[in-house]
Amino acid sequence: MPTYDSVFYSRLLTETTLAFHIIFATIGVGVPVMIMLAELAGIKRKDPYYSLLARRWARGFVITVAIGVVTGTAIGLQLSLLWPKFMEIAGQAIALPLFLETFAFFIEAIFLGIYLYTWERLKPMHHLLLLVPVVIGSSASAFFITTVNAFMNTPQGFTLKDGLITNVQPILAMFNPSMPTKVAHVLSSSYMTSAFILAAIAAYSLLKKKGDTLYAKKALKLTVTAGLVFSITTALIGDLSAKFLAQNQPEKLAAAEWHFETTTNAPLILGGILTDNNEIKYALKIPYALSILAGGTPGSEVKGLNDIPEDLRPPLYVHYFFDAMVAIGMFAIVVGLIHMWYSRKKSRKPYPKWLLWLIVVSGPLSMLGIQCGWFYAEVGRQPWILRGYMKVADAATTAQNVDKMLLLFCLLYLVLALTAVKVLSNLFKKNDGADELMALGIFAGRTKE
């Protein structure tokens, strides 16, 4: 069967593109918020350090936006190339959010262009206001595109019979049951990850004692504080998502937790491995925790995998993604709390090296958490592309050569990633923070006179 291979390679290619895109998309959604916070702090406190922070972040941000834009275009077009039958249905049912997403993207693109080239042309406050449409645009496009993904998990607002779609209600399709938790989780985790990535950069430069440490310290405090707030929000929304899954997509939660028998008082399983005959080894069991996670009380019944037909169960390896995501989220909160404890007393400064290293690690880890979360969400929906309506195997292209295209795109992403790293590091080596502070007439907290 020629179709079979296409399905496998189409999945692989889509995964590769999305995994690559999501790195830049996350930064694209979160970093404008951080730039805005820094610029606001700069204006309110009349502190040029924060304004410089905003400026330097913005400069690096453009490079990541470029890759975000091109990979976003790639995944958009690939949807039709790899999943033509899905897109035919999507076009009928959820074209509205897709369409609105491009408008949001348009607004973001226009105002980001203006923002980058009007540092000297506008008053600081007016210049800051230009970021409002950028933030709205990037978060709105995340919102719209996530409603599409939510629709794939809990489709509604149409009737599908014999491949024909009728009775379409675009608004209902968009505001489907999993939309609220998904959108909220995506947005807050993007803000959180971006905050920790910027925190990691600040912590790293403190460790290397490069340039003016006051600049890096201010950056660190702003980013870790924001990161802590966003990571707590993310965890709370994550809890709501689990409760949602228990209600609406029990097979996804059960697969994540290797929960086979439908029971009350269900334990939560941390770590461990699964043997061939579905025995769990080396895992840490927390009694009642899954029931509490799923329904709020130990007495809540949690549906087990045995009640799901075997051919409709997601792969069980999603457990590892789920655990990794949750563990990273918890780690970030702990790091944020330790930092808060240290930052509240003068006597506990400067920060110990191990704390700075923890912050450095939390940046890339948060990004890994995003990847794990998405892999869990997406693989956990297998075998469906439209849960309950269309299976992945029926949606893939019938065209050959998907494997060759996979190689082509892997090469592309590799080259883009390497160049981006090179360009970004050159950019910041060339423009040292200390030099820029000097140019602004300040150094080590004092105005140079």
Partner 1 sequence: MSLELIGITVLWIFLYGYVIVASIDFGAGFFSYYSVITMKKHIIHKIIDRYLSPVWEVTNVFLVFFYIGMVGFFPETARYYGTALLIPGSIAIVLLAVRGAYYAFSNYGSKDNKWYMLLYGATGLLIPATLSTVLTISEGGIITEQNNFISLDWQKLFGSFYTWSVVLLSLVSVLYISAMFLSFYAFRAKDLPAFKILRGYALFWSCPTIIASILVFFTINQQNPDHFQNMLNLGWMFGVSLLCFIIAVYFLWKQIKLGIAFIFVLLQFAFAFFGYGRAHLPYILYPYITIHENFTNQTMGTALVIAFIAGIVILLPSLYLLMRLFLFDADYVQGKLIKKGD
- The CA distance from 371 to 376, in Å, is 9
Residue with Cβ nearer partner 1 (98 or 312)? 98
Nearest approach in angstroms of CB 247 to partner 1 is 28
**How is 348-366 classified by DSSP, letter by letter?**
G-SPPHHHHHHHHHHHHHH
Nearest of 183, 150, 137 to residue 29 by alpha carbon: 137
Q: For residue 418, what is the enclosing H or E element?
A: helix 402-430
Minimum CB–partner distance for residue 133 and partner 1 (Å): 7
Closest contact distance (angstroms) between CB of 120 and partner 1 is 5
Write down the least CB distance from residue 295 to partner 1, Å. Answer: 36
End-to-end alpha-carbon separation of the chain, Å? Answer: 78
Residue type at position 284 = L
Q: Which spans in 289-401 are helix H?
A: 289-295, 318-343, 353-379, 392-395
Which of 246, 25, 240, 12 minimizes the C-alpha distance to 144? Answer: 25
H or E segment at 304? none
Q: Give least dist CB 413 to partner 1, A.
A: 9
At closest approach, how far in Å is the CB of 445 from partner 1? 22
Residues 6+ apart with CB under 8 A from 123: none
In this structure, what token pair is assigned to residue 83?
């999943």
